[in-house]
Amino acid sequence: MKVLLLAGLGALFFAYYWDDNFDSASLQGARVLLTGASVGVGEELAYHYARLGSHLVLTAHTEALLQKVNFLSYVQLTSLALPSLTDSKGSLVVVSSLLGRVPTSFSSPYSAAKFALNSFFGSLRRELDVQDVHVAITMCVLGLRDRASAAEGVRGVTRAKAAPGPKAALAVIRGSATRASGVFYPWRFHLLCLLRGWMPQPRAWFIRQELNITTPAAA
């Protein structure tokens, strides 16, 4: 029975990720407003969109200012853009994190902000649906990017490896172009999010497998 269940789950995931209706030509001439384009995934997104022939409007901050940007900035920008997006039946692409779906140790402020982000856009999607407003919202759950600053921020704490920035950016673009409700990169993050529903309180020993910490010796 267990073998059949695992085989069925594997087939479902294979079918989900094999179904690919992304057409790069659909982005030729598309109008794209891209925030945070100076570093990380934002920078890689700008490169990809430019190669695909999209018309870009880029905004960027210094690394210091990026640390001060919070949840309210997403809400304000969305509120300002929503009337235009409604008229054009456009789409919103929100780059979030696995920590906005699965909490982990030593990241409380960051994780709280990302959970708020997912809740806000999840609620907004439902509000738009019931009002028959055809604005797509794509939530992107990404892992640690291969930026020096990101790696430095978790050095000595986690064993998790960084994901390649260009590939993560391309996954975001594909999800946006197909108006997908969610993007997970790496793909296994989708499985982790599903597992959280089955195991909301993982044992401490399981969590430690991703962390460079040890339990204190018994007295």
Catalytic residue IDs: 110
Residue 31, both tokens: 């109008």
What's the CA gap between 131 and 128, in Å, rounded? 5
Write b or e for each residue in 140-169: b if 16 or more Cβ atoms lie within 10 A of its Cβ, otherwise e: bbbbbbbbeebeeebeeebeeeebebeebb
Q: Could you please report the per-residue DSSP string of 129-183?
A: HHTT---EEEEEEE--BS-HHHHHHTTTTB-PPPBPHHHHHHHHHHHHHTT-SEE
> Quick one: residue 40, left, alpha or beta (phi over 0 = left, psi -120 to 50 = alpha)?
left
Task: Label each residue of 59-85 as H, E or C.
Answer: CCCCHHHHCCCCHHHHHHHHHHHHHHH
